[in-house]
Chain A
Amino acid sequence: MSQSPRLRLQGITRAYPGVLANDGIDLAIRPGEIHALLGENGAGKSTLVKIIYGVVRPDSGRMFWEGRPFSVSSPREARRLGIGMVFQHFSLFETLTVADNIALGVEGNRRQLSRRIREVAARYGLDLDPDREVHTLGMGERQRVEIVRCLLQQPKLLIMDEPTSVLTPQATVKLFETLRRLAAEGTSILYISHKLQEIQDLCEIATVLRQGRVSATCDPRQETPRSLARMMIGDDLPELARPSLTVTGEERLRVNHLSMPAHGPFGTALEDIHFSIQGGEILGLAGVAGNGQRELLAALSGERLTHPDTLWIGGEPAGDLDPAARRRQGLAVVPEERLGRGAVPEMNLVENTLLTSHYLVSGGFIRFRALRRLAERIRVEFRVAAGSTRTVARSLSGGNLQKFILGREILHQPQLLVAAHPTWGVDVGAAGAIHRALLELRDRGAALLVISEDLDELLTLADRIGVLYQGRLSPLRQTAGTTVEEIGLWMGGRFEAETLTPTLNADGMVDYAP
Chain B
Amino acid sequence: MRPRLVPRQAPSRWMALLAPLVAALATLLSGAILFAALGRDPLEALWVFFVSPISNWYGVGELGIKATPLILCATGLAVGFRGGVWNIGAEGQLILGAITGGGLALLFPDGAGLWLLPAMLVAGVLGGMLWAAIPALLRTRFHTNEILTSLMLSYVAAQLLGYLVHGPWRSPEGFNFPESILFSADATLPIILPGTRLHPGILAALGSALLVWLLMARLFPGYQIKVVGMARPAAAYAGFSHSRIVWLGMLAGGGLAGLAGVMEVAGPIGQLMPRISPGYGFAAIIVAFLGRLHPVGVVLAGLLMALLYLGGEQAQIGLGLPPAVTGLFQGMLLFFLLASDVFINFRVVWGPLAPRLKG
Residues of A within 8 A of B (CB): 14, 16-18, 21, 44, 46-47, 50, 55-57, 59, 301-303, 322-327, 333, 335, 337, 340-347, 351, 354-356, 358, 361, 364-366, 368, 392, 394-395
| A-B contacts at CB below 8 angstroms, number | 90
**A14 partner residues in chain B, CB cutoff 8 A:** 359
Task: Given A50-B357, A56-B356, A341-B231, decide whether A322 and B219 contact each other with a Cβ distance below 8 A.
Answer: no
**A344 touching B231 in the complex, CB below 8 Å, given contacts A324-B238, A394-B10:** yes
Residue picked from B220, B227, B239, B355, most chain A C-beta under 10 Å = B239
Expressed in whole angstroms, the Cα–Cα distance for A14 and B238 within the complex equals 39
Q: Mark B217-254, 1 if CB is under 8 A from A, else 0.
A: 01111010011001101101111110000000000000
The residue in B227, B234, B236 that gathers the most chain A C-beta atoms within 10 A of its C-beta is B234
Q: B2 on the interface (CB 8 Å rule)?
A: no
CB-based contact B234/A341 at 8 Å: yes
The distance in angstroms between the C-alpha atoms of A21 and B234, with both chains bound, is 31
Which of B219, B236, B353 has the most A CB atoms < 10 Å from its CB?
Answer: B236
A302 touching B239 in the complex, CB below 8 Å, given contacts A47-B359, A56-B357, A361-B220: yes
Q: Who on chain B is nearest to A321 by CB? A: B239
Of A55, A345, A356, the contact of B238 (CB 8 Å cutoff) = A356
Are the CB atoms of A365 and B238 closer together than 8 Å?
no
User: What is the bound-complex CA distance between A57 and B352, given in angstroms?
Assistant: 11
Give the complex CA separation of A340 and B229 in angstroms: 11
A46, B223: Cβ atoms under 8 Å? Answer: no
B353 touches A59 (CB 8 A): yes
**Given A341-B236, A346-B11, A368-B218, 11 more contacts at CB 8 Å?**
A55-B357, A56-B359, A57-B353, A303-B237, A323-B236, A340-B231, A341-B237, A342-B237, A355-B227, A358-B220, A365-B218
Are A323 and B357 neighbours in the complex by a CB distance under 8 Å? Answer: no
Cβ-defined contact, A323 with B237, below 8 A: yes
Closest to B6 in A: A17
- B182-222 residues with Cβ-Cβ distance < 8 A to A are 218-221
Chain B interface (Cβ < 8 Å from any Cβ of A): 9-11, 218-221, 223, 226-227, 230-231, 233-234, 236-241, 353, 355-359
Contact between B237 and A301 (Cβ–Cβ < 8 Å)? yes
Q: Which residue from chain B places its CB closest to the CB of A340 in the assembled complex? A: B231
Task: Kindly identify which residue among A57, A324, A342, A394 contacts B234, using a CB–CB cutoff of 8 Å.
Answer: A342
A16 to B358, CA, bound (A): 8
Question: A368: which B residues are within 8 A, CB to CB?
Answer: 218
The CA-CA distance from A462 to B301 in the complex, in Å, is 58
Closest to A302 in B: B239
Cβ A366 vs Cβ B220 within 8 A: yes
Judging by beta carbons under 8 Å apart, are B239 and A325 in contact?
A: yes
Q: Which residue of B lies closest to A22 (CB)?
A: B359
Give min CB distance, A7 to chain B, whole Å: 19
Closest residue of B by beta carbon distance from A304: B236
* Measured CA separation A199–B356 after assembly (Å): 31
- The answer to whether B230 and A17 have CB atoms under 8 Å apart is no
**Are the C-beta atoms of A323 and B238 separated by less than 8 Å?**
yes
Partner of A347, one of B230, B237, B353, B356: B230
Q: How far is the CA of A16 from the CA of B237 in the complex (A)?
A: 33
Given contacts A325-B239, A341-B233, A356-B238, A17 and B9 within 8 Å (CB-CB): yes
Does A355 lie within 8 Å of B237, measured CB to CB?
yes
A335 to B358 alpha-carbon distance, docked (Å): 25
Q: A322 to chain B: which residues have CB within 8 Å?
A: 239, 241
Q: Is the CB of B221 within 8 A of A364?
A: yes
User: How many whole Å from A301's CB to the nearest CB in chain B?
Assistant: 7
A17 to B7, CA, bound (A): 11
Residue of B11, B231, B241, B358 most packed against chain A (CB within 10 A): B231
List residues of chain A with CB within 8 A of the CB of B238: 323-324, 355-356, 358
Q: Are B237 and A46 in contact (CB under 8 A)?
A: no
Docked CA distance A340–B237 (Å): 10
A133 to B11, CA, bound (A): 41
CA distance A326 to B220 in the complex (A): 19
Q: Which residue of A lies closest to B240 (CB)?
A: A324
**How far does the Cβ of A355 sit from chain B's closest Cβ, in whole Å?**
5
List chain A residues, Cβ under 8 A from B236.
303, 323, 341
B234: which A residues are within 8 A, CB to CB? 340-344, 355
Q: With A59-B353, A303-B236, A355-B238 as given contacts, are A50 and B231 in contact (CB-CB < 8 Å)? A: no
CB within 8 A of A344: which of B9, B227, B357? Answer: B227
CA gap between A59 and B359 in the complex, in Å: 13
The 6 closest A-B pairs by CB, nearest first: A324-B239, A323-B239, A47-B359, A341-B233, A361-B220, A344-B231
Q: Which residue of A lies closest to B358 (CB)?
A: A16
CB-based contact B230/A344 at 8 Å: yes
Whether A50 contacts B359 by the Cβ 8 Å rule is yes
- Known contacts A322-B241, A323-B239; is A16 also within 8 Å of B218 by CB? no
Contact between chains at A327 and B239 (CB < 8 Å): yes
Which residues of B sit under 8 angstroms from A44, Cβ to Cβ? 359
A356 to B, closest residue via Cβ: B238
How many Å lie between the Cα of A323 and that of B227 in the bound state? 15
Question: In the complex, how many angstroms separate the beta carbon of B61 from the nearest chain A beta carbon?
Answer: 37
User: How far apart are the CA atoms of A335 and B237 in the complex, in Å?
Assistant: 8
Closest beta carbon of chain B to A287's beta carbon, Å: 21
User: Does A16 lie within 8 Å of B355, measured CB to CB?
Assistant: yes
Instruction: Write out the residue numbers on chain A whose beta carbons fall within 8 Å of the beta carbon of B227.
Output: 344, 347, 355
A contact residues around B353 at 8 Å (CB) = 57, 59
Q: Is the CB of B220 within 8 A of A364?
A: yes
What residues on B are CB-neighbors of A333 within 8 Å? Answer: 237
Give bound CA distance, A368 to B223, whole Å. 12
Question: In the bound complex, what is the Cα–Cα distance between A245 and B4 (angstroms)?
Answer: 60
Residues of A within 8 A of B233 (CB): 337, 340-341
Question: Contacts A340-B231, A395-B10 hold; do A365 and B220 have CB atoms under 8 A apart?
Answer: yes
A343 to B220, CA, bound (A): 17
The CB with the most chain B CB atoms within 10 A, among A302, A344, A365, is that of: A344
Which among B230, B239, B353, B359 has the highest number of chain A CB atoms within 10 Å? B359
The closest CB in chain B to the CB of A48 belongs to B359
With both beta carbons as reference points, the residue of chain B lying nearest to A328 in the complex is identified as: B239
Could you tell me the distance between the alpha carbons of A57 and B355 in the complex, rounded to whole angstroms?
7
- Residues A56 and B220 in contact, CB atoms below 8 Å apart: no
Q: How far is the CB of A297 from chain B (nearest CB, A)?
A: 10
Partner of A16, one of B219, B223, B226, B359: B359
CA of A301 to CA of B236 in the docked complex: distance in angstroms? 9
What is the bound-complex CA distance between A193 and B316, given in angstroms?
A: 71
In the complex the two chains form, is A21's CB within 8 Å of B359's CB?
Answer: yes
Contacts of A301 in B (CB 8 A): 237
| Most chain B beta carbons < 10 A, residue from A14, A18, A340 | A340
Q: Which residues of B contact A46 (CB under 8 A)?
A: 359
Residues of A contacting B9 in the complex (Cβ-Cβ under 8 angstroms): 17-18, 395
B122 to chain A, nearest CB (A): 22
Instruction: Specify the chain B residue showing the minimal Cβ separation from A323.
Output: B239
| Shortest beta-carbon distance from A191 to chain B in Å | 19
Return chain A residues, CB-CB under 8 Å to B358.
16
Q: How far is the CA of A303 from the CA of B240 in the complex (A)?
A: 10
| A56 contacts across to B, CB distance below 8 A | 355-357, 359
A residues in contact with B11, CB < 8 Å = 346
B212 to chain A, nearest CB (A): 14
Cα A361 to Cα B224 in complex, Å, equals: 12
Report the Cα distance A138→B237, complex, angstroms: 28
CB-based nearest B residue for A58: B353
CB contacts (< 8 Å) of A55 on chain B: these are: 356-357
Question: In the complex, A321 Cα to B33 Cα: how many Å?
Answer: 62
Q: Which residues of A contact B221 (CB under 8 A)?
A: 364
- Could you tell me if A366 and B357 are in contact, using CB atoms closer than 8 angstroms? no
| Inter-chain contact B219/A366, CB cutoff 8 Å | yes
* B-chain residues with CB within 8 Å of residue A358 when the two chains form the complex: 220, 238-239
